Every structure is written in structure tokens, then in C-alpha cells.
Amino acid sequence: MDALIPEPTDSFQPNHATYIRYPSLEVFQQYLRQGWTEAWDITDAPVLNIGNRHDPLRSLVQDKAVAAHECREGDEASFYSLTKADTGHHQSIEATDFVRAIPDQTVLHNISELFVHMTYVQRTEGVTVLRMVTAGDRNNNENAILFCERTTQLWSRNEGWVDFIATYSSNPNDFYDMVAETSPALKAQYMQDMVDLIWRVSDRAVRHVHIQGRRQGLETHRADGWKEARRMPVADIQLAIAQATQDITTQALKAGDDSCGCCTEKYGPSKRCLELECGHTLCADCLLTWVYHRYEQDDEPNCQSCRALVFADEVSTALKYGTNGPAYTFDIRYNAWENNMRSLADLDKYEAAHNHQQIFVDTESLMGIFNHIRRMDDSEPLSSTPQHLQYSKMAGECRVLASAVRKGLSLRDGQLLVISALFTELMARVNDAMCLGRFHNTWLMLYNPDNYTNAGMEAFRQQTRDPPLGFPEYSYRLVNRFLQFYHLRQCTCAQRGSDHYHDLKRYWR
């Protein structure tokens, strides 16, 4: 049995990609056509570990440093996995035994048969899409059903790429029990992903299901039961307001300006009057409420009369991310990975692609920073992101990324370069090195793009597989961060001349 389980792989080997879409409107409509006129989509099911997690749909603006991962924000095929294929598509399915395991589309199969069928199709180069829905009777939620349509695309010698379709059903709880009882050695990634999506085991799944359901007009999220929301500390907001405003006595007020423009109550001993830098006034209570409201709406606090900003840019950044000053202290409301990401938030504020300042290229210093930031990324817990999107699992891709970056820096070592130009060079080299590795089906050897003509590289790009979902965004962000780190984190304190920390924030000299 062990030999039948497809092995996880990277994008450099012949592989079979499995994508999951849940909830799927197409499959739900198909389910209704079979006579379940009173059925409804159950995407508001209980969320596992809900009492130990903050609501990922209601994160604060400062949490954007944690959620700033473009590859994790609702791509409808973002739950996927790669498994090693035994044959390339140049070997047709007619030459293999796998085609005999592909079932008849007209028969509704039990979900347990999906596991058997997938052990065969995942070993052949191609693509499988699993479209799922959980449905049931509005009056009897106990009769819920998991409905899954599998579309597998394989290569045929006579017909080219051919779609094979099969449908499966089961009770969601029975499916969960089947996966739970399966030996860890026999579990494939798609099984874990199906469980993750249906029961929202990770924050990533909560966001994915919410976005998918919203696209089809479904209620897909319930906030009851999550841990208390993390808010900006009141003391921090009050201190920022005190520094950005002036207390005005009632005697100093202009005629007709004796009441708050927001709550309309008159200023007095219990209703402090604060004057903004623009000259307009609000009471202290209304200004505090307004600042909270604007930040939680992902907007900058501004004057309600003239729209002038309440805080200077650096003050607002410090409030949102806690990272604008020389140090960032550990915040117990966040785990280690979240604190690490928030300590890097100042590096994401401006992109290296638009930074026209110059830096002196020191390969070893830059690679030390590169590896430091990569280790921070690798500390992300599974409760935040599924295993297949953990960058530490993309060993082959990460090795090519690091090697290409080092090669690109070594060619420019000792030179004074504009950051945006260096960023463009490095990203082009990374993309070409990944392309060559996938073309030659190996990451063990770093192929140098400089050895190929532009026409030759373009031909390779047309013939190679795509990189893993999310990896281009990850490599872009990592290269951006380490170049910005090198430019911005140059410390002038007494420890200058060595890598050192101010609390969580690291400085390279």
C-alpha cells in the first residue's frame, strides 16, 4: 500500500498538481439538479480551534504586516499540492496502467473511493481539480453531505490532453473520521487540505472559504467564539493624540466654537477640547473614537472638517506597526512569527523596485541578511498557513533562489549600484534560474542564465512548468526585504560595526 501513495515533490520534477476549490457554486448547482431542491450550502460550519485563535477576517491594520502575503489572499486555486509523477506527458496514458483506475462519470462514488483513484492519477503527470461543497436540508443539518467533483487532465497519445470526470459523496463527519484514522504515512496533502477547508483548521482556510462563498452570495463566516480582538493599546493612541493636539480652554475658544462638531456637546470640565494641527477642534472622547474607527477601516485618521491628517506619517506608522522607532519589543498578543513579521513592516513600506538610492554591494553582508529574513519566514506556524505553502517545504525552489541571488550579487560585488536596478537584475536572474531548473528537471545544479541567449531563454520559458503557486510572490518579497534592510537598517549607535539588535529589530551595522 505504501508504494501507491504519491510522494510530495517540487516543481522541478515531472509532477501532478492537485487544486481544491471550496465552496464550489458549480458543484452546488449540480447537486441541486439531482432533486435536492431544499438543499443549502453549509459553509457556516464550526471552525476547529476557534477558541484559541483570533478572527483572521477582523484583523487590525497593524496586523497587515502579518497578512502581507499576496499569494495567500484568496486565489481560488490556492489550496494545492504537487506529487511526483512516474511518467512525463510524452508517455501517454495508453502506455500506463493508470487509465484503468479512472472511474465512470455516470456513477456517484463514495468519498473513500476518491482516495483510491487519486493514488493512481496523482502518479501521472497532469492536473486534478477537486470542486467541493457541503450541503444539507435546512430543517435537518444532521443529514449534511460532502459532494465532490474530480476533474483530472491527463495526456492521451491519440487525443492530447483529455479530461476525466468523476463525482463522490459522503457525510462530512464520516470523511473527517476517515482522514483521522488514516496512517500518517498514507496521508496525501490534498486530504489534509480538504479537512482544513471544510473545518477551517488554518487562518488561511477561513479567508479562502469566506472569499469563495462571497463570490457566490453565501454567508460563510461566523465570528462568535473567536478570541478577543487585538486592538491598538489605548495608552499608545492617547499619547499620540496628546503629542499631536493642544488642550484649549473654554475661555480661549472662538465665538460660536464652544461645542464638539461631532457629538455637539458643549466643552467644559468633563468635555476636554482638543485643537488639531489644522486648527479645528474635537472633544477628546470623539477624537479617540474617530482615530480607532479610521485605523480599523484601514484609513488614516483625519480631520472631519478639512480632511487634514491627524498624525504625521512616522507617528501613524509607529501606531500601526510598532516598528517606526529604533526598536520593536516583543508583543505578547502575537506569536513569535507574527512578531518577527511585524518587526519587518518598515521594510515593506516602500519597494526596492522604486528605490533610486545607491548601495555598496557587499555579497557576504547581503547574504547574511537574506538568510536571516528567510529564517523568519520559516517560523510560520501551520495554524496560519497550510503545510504546502510553508516555504521551508519548498526546499528545491529555495535552494535555487538563494543560489541565484548569491551569483547575482557576486557579479556586482564591490560596486556602487542603484537599488532598483540591482533588484531588477536579481529578480530576472532568479526567474531564469528557476525556469532552467524546471526545464532540466533538477534543482541539484544551478544553471547560469548568462550562458544562454535571449531567444534561447524565451524558448525555455515557453516549454517549462509554472513555479509553485505563491513562490514568485515570496521570492519578490524576500529580495525586496533584504535589499531594503541593507539600505535602511544602518545603525549609528555605539554598537555600530557589527550585527546587533534593538529588541526585535536587527541592524546590520
Are residues 52 and 200 in contact, defined by beta-carbon separation less than 8 angstroms? Answer: no
pLDDT digits (tens, 9 = 90+) for 29-61: 777 777 665 566 666 666 788 888 888 777 666
Q: Which of 130-139, 251-260, 347-356 has the highest mean pLDDT?
A: 347-356
Judged by DSSP in three states, 136 sits in strand
Nearest-angstrom CA–CA distance, 328 and 346: 11
What pLDDT is recorded for position 76? 46
Higher per-residue pLDDT: 294 or 41:
294
The answer, yes or no, to whether residue 68 has pLDDT greater than 80, is no
Percent of the chain scored above 90 by pLDDT? Answer: 19
Cα gap 68→226, rounded to integer Å: 22
The model's pLDDT over 191-240, given as tens digits with 9 standing for 90+, comes to: 988 988 888 888 878 888 887 877 777 777 777 788 877 777 788 889 89
Burial 442-478 (b: 16+ CB within 10 A, else e): bbeebbebeebeeeebeebeeebbebbbbbbebbbbb
Which of 134-148, 176-190, 297-311, 393-407 is least confident?
134-148
Q: CA distances (Å), 225 to each of 52, 153, 229, in order?
A: 9, 41, 11
Angle between helices 419-439 and 471-488 (to 10 degrees): 150
Strands 273-275 and 140-156, bridge-based pairing: unpaired
- Alpha-carbon gap, residue 15 to 282, rounded angstroms: 62
| Per-residue pLDDT, 143 | 73
Tens of pLDDT, residues 244-259: 999 888 667 776 678 8
Q: Cβ-count burial of 105 within 10 angstroms (0-12 exposed, 13-18 middle, 19+ buried)?
A: middle
Q: How far is CA 167 from the centre of its chain?
A: 30
C-alpha cell at 17: 498538481
Q: What is the mean pLDDT of residues 86-115?
A: 70
- Whole-model pTM: value is 0.78
Residue carrying the nine cell digits 462563498? 213
Residues 6+ apart with CB under 8 A from 37: none
**Burial classification of residue 11, based on how many CB atoms lie within 10 Å of its CB (0-12 exposed, 13-18 middle, 19 or more buried):** buried
235's grid cell? 495608552
Q: Are 361 and 431 in contact (CB under 8 A)?
A: no
Measured between alpha carbons, how far is 426 from 422 in angstroms, rounded to an integer? 6
pLDDT score, position 303:
92
In the chain, % of residues over pLDDT 70: 82
